[in-house]
Chain A
Amino acid sequence: MSTETQKGAEARPEFKEVVTTSTWQRWMHSDIWHSYKRSPVIIVSSLTFLVLVLGAVLSPLISPYTPFDPASLNLMNGFTKPMSANEFTGDYFLLGTDDQGRDVLSTILFGLRISLFVGVVAVLFAMTLGVVLGLVSGYVGGWVDGMIMRIADIQMTFPSIMVAMLLYGIGKGLIPPDLRDEMAIWVLIISIGLSEWVQFARTVRGATMVERQKEYVQAGNLIGLSRWSIMLRHILPNVTGPILVIATISLALAIIAEATLSFLGVGAPKTEPSLGTLINVGRQYILSGEWWILLFPSLTLLALALSVNLFGDWLRDILNPKLR
């Protein structure tokens, strides 16, 4: 495609300007940017997402306290109200503290890191697994397809949070007790990843079956390319659109799954609270008036999941010509 344009450019120098445009300029002229500019919802949600990601990435630099170091906590700071100083220690907390005297703001920033890390890595894991299985299933067909899709069907009959909890339980059982805290995050990632691969596999399989019939695949077959080469180098680039959309929506789901598992007490360790853990702690004190422990992490989780979800919706609309 690109070589063709270059040849055309040589023949018709008056288009030189267009040809030499940078990626940035091409982006500025694209439909995607046009649609982005015209949708206030997506501008707000993408900026929210950006702020949250920056907060998470920079948390060690910008957070006022180090909530994951138990030795730095002072129990006397417990239950300090937002935007006030503790009556015993005089320490100031913008969003208040939890029951152990952890600064809620710092804990949210550090907790976001866990949520985003788990979400992104779990989705990458689910995507890799789902895409490979989907490609094989759609391209090879026959009994291989039957087997992979039946496994997917079986898994679809369980709620994904249940699958994740089951896998988490098994994972915890297999790991020696003294490594549990360090491994908890990875067990979480694998359990969420394994519960989300089906969406990817199904979509990629469908798209692959359509692509398989096309001339370029037959041509590839004729010149003797290997199956893997056809699948990964030729079919895969043509099915990336739907994968991107599912990946964004899965990211929101994975973040919520992590929060749910932590809320239920099976996720991140209590001494290193993620958003879900913090919400669970806050829930215990909602009747006694300490609302901030519950409210701020919940709002953060809401903002994160909603912004990713809206972005995913918009991406789907943009990448699907039928919806335009």
Chain B
Amino acid sequence: MKTMLKLTAASVALCAGIGMANAETLRWARAGDSLTLDPHAQNEGPTHALAHQMYEPLLQRDMSAQIIPALATSWAPTDDPKVWEFKLREGVKFHGGEDFTADDVVFSLKRAMMPTSAMKELLNSIADVRKVDDNTVHIETKGPNPLLPNNLTNLFIMDSDWTVSNGCEAPQDIANGGDNPCVRSVNGTGAYVLESRKQDSQTILKQNENYWGKGEFPLEVTEIIYTPIQESATRVSALLSGEVDLIQDVPVQDLARVAETDGLALSTAPQNRTIFFGMNVGDADLGSDTVDGKNPLADQRVREAMNIAINRDAIKKVVMRDQSAPTGVIMPPFVNGWTEELDAYPAYDVAKAKSLMEEAGYGDGFGLTLNCPNDRYINDEAICQAAVGMLGQIGIKVNLDAKPKAQHFPLIKNKETDFYMLGWGVPTFDSEYIFNYLTHTTTDKLGSWNGTRFSNADIDSKIESLASETDIEVRNQTISDIWNTVQAETIYLPIHNQVLNWGMKDAINFPVQPEDQPHFKFMSFKK
């Protein structure tokens, strides 16, 4: 009996020992996976979040969303305000051992400006990128662009030789189902190296032994095991049972439980992201509605009716359990251009909405398909279901089509949906980014996520002027003008700004990052 006890004690001690050794492995879960490892092919939060562990931009946002140097050590406009000089970090090597030089920066930024790149709207103001010497790069903009650095926080630098020899000179062409080897392999300069990856199942990263940032960042996590878990109950169970150490998307209904569980901690902060519905306002007729020969969504009165038929307070109360901030504009308060007047949302008024529908000639309503993701935003499908009911009350019979984001997003980019849910985060913290992607007419360079088909030449030229307007007063006035038109047209139905909740072991020191981007090199453990 005594031996038994000793054995048990020994095995308990052994287990504890193993537990400590494993403390450096971080098991991380969120609802959806990165869509591709090609760093310029998708401009999407979870895709960037994974890429940030392995690739690095010239400058990045830290855990409090402040801009800090990454591959560039300093940057400033030269005497010519149109030319920015970036001094590059010396002695940096890619995971494959190649030296990081100015050639790689020129190559990567040019790659990100190609037509198949999802990042091109961010680089829209750039006229040319030039190597000055091995450690200096000049970026020339079309006009002076004081906000250029803000646009570079998610622009990852690839090794030019490695990328070319792998045959991925151009970014993966998502819209046409394109593929290239860089979708599955990585050669970055980041703190973590790709060990293995099964799309939508598991990705394992190991610490980069030669990382330049040793001594500068905690780098206490030596291995990352990333598992997307779509089902919210399964995800939170994985955290409660200790199967994972950190989950990014804690289901709102389980917040209290996570907070109250011993050994777990909840980290909460408002997110820089708005959730909204987009409507096809531009086409003469819609494919997915029940009205022949006309587009009901082209009528502003119908859009206004839909806007006031949505009970944002009820969505906040019931679907989000108070974990959201209802809004009347598709812009979170972090963004330059945000005002309280824009943010104020219209009162929920079914009677007025019905009379607007009547006025527009749709008193009997119509049918319409709503496309919705089910693994991207907090309670995305539940919000869509609630909207189906609310729009039903003003006679719009909505047919809900909820799909994983990998199938949902192409519908918006390829203009195959007339009514859709989208969430938009603003990494530049400036309205121009929203306009460039969501408001400008879709062209080769801009408006790639404008699924509304909204097109207004005057607005387009105002948006384009923002890139080179140096007078901040004038620029802010233009931003305000554009918002006023966009709001008056009601081309989007804003719902709310998300509140972020990360659940984690309480031994982890990790604040919520307002862009929902965990940078694991900053993570440390409580001793």
Asked if A290 lies at the interface with its beta carbon under 8 angstroms from chain B, I say yes
Query: Looking at chain B's contact residues, is the secondary structure mostly helix, strand, loop, or mixed?
Result: helix
Given A99-B319, A181-B399, A271-B388, the answer on whether A75 and B251 have CB atoms closer than 8 Å is: no
| B309-351 interface code vs A (CB 8 A; 1 in, 0 out) | 0010011011100000000000000000000000000000000
Alpha-carbon distance between A79 and B319 when the two chains are bound, in angstroms = 10
Given A75-B318, A270-B400, A290-B253, the answer on whether A284 and B233 have CB atoms closer than 8 Å is: yes
Q: Chain B, interface size: which category?
A: 20 to 34
B490: shortest Cβ distance to chain A, in Å?
22
Asked if A63 lies at the interface with its beta carbon under 8 angstroms from chain B, I say no
Contact of A288 among B256, B319, B385, B389 (CB under 8 A): B256
Asked if B225 lies at the interface with its beta carbon under 8 angstroms from chain A, I say no
Contact of B314 among A70, A76, A178, A270 (CB under 8 A): A76
B402: shortest Cβ distance to chain A, in Å?
7
Q: Which of B101-109, B390-398, B425-433, B450-458 contacts A (4 or more CB under 8 A)?
A: B390-398
Given A70-B398, A177-B288, the answer on whether A75 and B389 have CB atoms closer than 8 Å is: yes
B333: shortest Cβ distance to chain A, in Å?
25
Find out whether the CB atom of A100 lies under 8 angstroms from the CB atom of B382: yes
| A64-92 interface code vs B (CB 8 A; 1 in, 0 out) | 00000111111110110000000000000
Asked if B232 lies at the interface with its beta carbon under 8 angstroms from chain A, I say yes
Q: Chain A, interface size: which category?
A: 20 to 34
**B window 438-496: CB within 8 A of A:** none
Find out whether the CB atom of A71 lies under 8 angstroms from the CB atom of B386: no
B413: shortest Cβ distance to chain A, in Å?
17
| B233-248 interface code vs A (CB 8 A; 1 in, 0 out) | 1001100100000000
Alpha-carbon distance between A196 and B398 when the two chains are bound, in angstroms = 34
Find out whether the CB atom of A287 lies under 8 angstroms from the CB atom of B399: no
| B377-389 interface code vs A (CB 8 A; 1 in, 0 out) | 0000110011011
A290 contacts which chain B residues (CB < 8 A)?
Answer: 253
B399 contacts which chain A residues (CB < 8 A)?
Answer: 178, 181
A65: shortest Cβ distance to chain B, in Å?
12
A285 contacts which chain B residues (CB < 8 A)?
Answer: 233, 253
User: Which residue of chain B is the closest to A99 with respect to CB atoms?
Assistant: B382
Find out whether the CB atom of A177 lies under 8 angstroms from the CB atom of B401: yes
Alpha-carbon distance between A286 and B382 when the two chains are bound, in angstroms = 16
Given A69-B392, A178-B288, A270-B400, the answer on whether A99 and B318 have CB atoms closer than 8 Å is: yes
B20: shortest Cβ distance to chain A, in Å?
29
Find out whether the CB atom of A288 lies under 8 angstroms from the CB atom of B381: no
Query: Looking at chain A's contact residues, is the secondary structure mostly helix, strand, loop, or mixed?
Result: loop
B251 contacts which chain A residues (CB < 8 A)?
Answer: 284, 288
Contact of B389 among A71, A284, A286 (CB under 8 A): A71
Asked if A269 lies at the interface with its beta carbon under 8 angstroms from chain B, I say yes
Find out whether the CB atom of B388 lies under 8 angstroms from the CB atom of A177: no
Asked if B135 lies at the interface with its beta carbon under 8 angstroms from chain A, I say no
Find out whether the CB atom of A287 lies under 8 angstroms from the CB atom of B288: no
Contact of A75 among B256, B369, B386 (CB under 8 A): B386
> What are 16 A-B residue pairs whose CB atoms fall within 8 Å in the complex?
A70-B385, A71-B392, A75-B315, A75-B390, A76-B318, A78-B318, A79-B318, A99-B319, A177-B288, A177-B401, A178-B399, A270-B402, A285-B253, A287-B237, A287-B240, A287-B257
> Which 7 residue pairs are nearest across A and B when measured between Cβ atoms?
A71-B392, A288-B253, A78-B318, A70-B389, A73-B389, A75-B314, A70-B392
B-side interface residues toward A, CB under 8 Å?
231-233, 236-237, 240, 251, 253-254, 256-257, 288, 311, 314-315, 317-319, 369, 381-382, 385-386, 388-390, 392-393, 395, 398-402
Q: A76-B311, A177-B369, A288-B257 are in contact. List 5 more A-B contacts (CB 8 A).
A: A78-B318, A271-B400, A285-B233, A286-B233, A290-B253
